[in-house]
């Protein structure tokens, strides 16, 4: 797995060959207690709360660049570091980290396919020791390219070149499950719950590319569109962003930080 040939989706067998590689930083976004029990050897734990910020009732926003710079410098991240992310929940938190790296212009990253579930259930080595690492100084600048904010979405609501994907449950999408002042969904959004992209029979790996195309394309989620993904806080939808952008190779995919926690709590946003 040379620098030029590091896949965006890494299998456990591939990662095991690179345990101890100083050019690869494995980041574990599992719960702290789980990480303390077992993790990929050498993986550093990152608390999910460190890569999001809250302005209640709006949640899941992007922290200021200086705060993220502190987080990634503490991890020892450098411009040449290749990050492999995983978690214990199917990839939502790990993909939010990868989306954040994309926002910050760091393009060298991969998702561990199946995360901790695949790693442990397929008998790869685990440990509960801490990895020694040297903090770095990593200046970061936030780019708007992977981001769609509330104003951008309102401006493009009726643009036929834009497709909006709601990664929440069908109950949240319909408004039956109310988690904000108002229920429903962004007008025109199609509902594809994020877990439908996960193969439950293969230790929470991603489904095949053919199965994923069959899931999204009939709903108009196609590679010729600008796609915007959202959920409640752009946690679950970060997984959808990764699937569309890096598994299916869609060139134009944006995530909506804040997501429904912002849209559903705003008085002047249209709702279906």
Torsion angle defined by CA atoms of residues 176, 235, 15 and 202, in that order, rounded to the nearest 10 degrees: 0
Asked if 114 and 160 sit in the same domain, the reply is: no
Asked if 94 and 9 sit in the same domain, the reply is: yes
What are the pLDDT digits (tens) for 55-98? 999 999 999 988 998 999 999 999 899 999 999 999 999 999 99
Taking the C-alpha atoms of residue 241 and residue 239, their distance in angstroms, rounded to an integer, is: 5
In a domain, 142, yes or no: no
Asked if 156 and 114 sit in the same domain, the reply is: no
Domain finish residue from 106, 121, 136: 121
pLDDT of residue 133: 66
In a domain, 235, yes or no: yes
Domain residues for the domain of 163 are: 150-263
Percent of residues, the chain, with pLDDT higher than 90:
88
What are the pLDDT digits (tens) for 23-47? 999 999 999 999 999 999 999 999 9
Question: Which CATH number covers residue 189?
Answer: 3.40.250.10
Asked if 155 and 247 sit in the same domain, the reply is: yes
In a domain, 135, yes or no: no
> Across all residues in the chain, what is the average pLDDT?
94
Asked if 102 and 161 sit in the same domain, the reply is: no
Asked if 100 and 8 sit in the same domain, the reply is: yes
pLDDT of residue 6: 78
Burial class (CB within 10 angstroms; exposed 0-12, middle 13-18, buried 19+) of 73? middle
Among 214, 163, 212, CA closest to 189: 163
In a domain, 226, yes or no: yes
Asked if 114 and 164 sit in the same domain, the reply is: no
Asked if 192 and 237 sit in the same domain, the reply is: yes
CB 203 within 8 A of CB 196: no
Residues designated catalytic: 231
Residues in contact with 173: Cβ distance below 8 Å, sequence separation at least 6, in sequence order: 166, 184, 185, 189, 191
């Amino acid at each position: 797995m040379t620098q030029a040939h590091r896949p965006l989706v890494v299998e456990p067998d591939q990662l095991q060959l690179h345990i101890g590689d100083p050019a690869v930083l494995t980041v574990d976004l599992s719960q702290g207690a789980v990480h303390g029990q077992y993790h990929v050897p050498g993986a550093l734990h990152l608390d999910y709360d460190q890569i999001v910020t809250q302005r209640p009732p709006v949640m899941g926003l992007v922290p200021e660049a200086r705060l993220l710079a502190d987080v990634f410098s503490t991890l020892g991240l450098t411009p040449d570091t290749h990050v492999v992310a995983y978690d214990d929940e199917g990839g939502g938190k790990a993909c939010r980290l990868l989306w954040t790296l994309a926002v910050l212009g760091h393009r060298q990253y991969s998702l561990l396919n199946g995360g901790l579930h695949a790693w442990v259930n397929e008998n790869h080595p685990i440990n509960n020791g801490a990895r020694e690492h040297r903090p770095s100084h990593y200046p970061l600048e936030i780019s708007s390219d992977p981001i769609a904010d509330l104003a951008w979405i309102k401006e493009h609501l009726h643009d036929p070149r834009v497709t909006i994907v709601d990664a929440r449950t069908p109950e949240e999408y319909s408004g039956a499950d109310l988690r904000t002042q108002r229920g429903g969904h962004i007008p025109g959004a199609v509902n594809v719950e994020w877990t439908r992209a996960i193969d439950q029979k293969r230790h929470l790996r991603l489904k095949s590319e053919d199965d994923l195309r069959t899931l999204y394309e009939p709903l108009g989620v196609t590679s010729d569109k600008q796609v915007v993904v959202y959920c409640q806080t752009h946690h679950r939808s970060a997984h959808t962003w990764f699937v569309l952008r890096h598994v299916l190779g869609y060139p134009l995919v944006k995530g909506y930080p804040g997501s429904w926690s912002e849209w559903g709590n705003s008085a002047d946003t249209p709702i279906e």
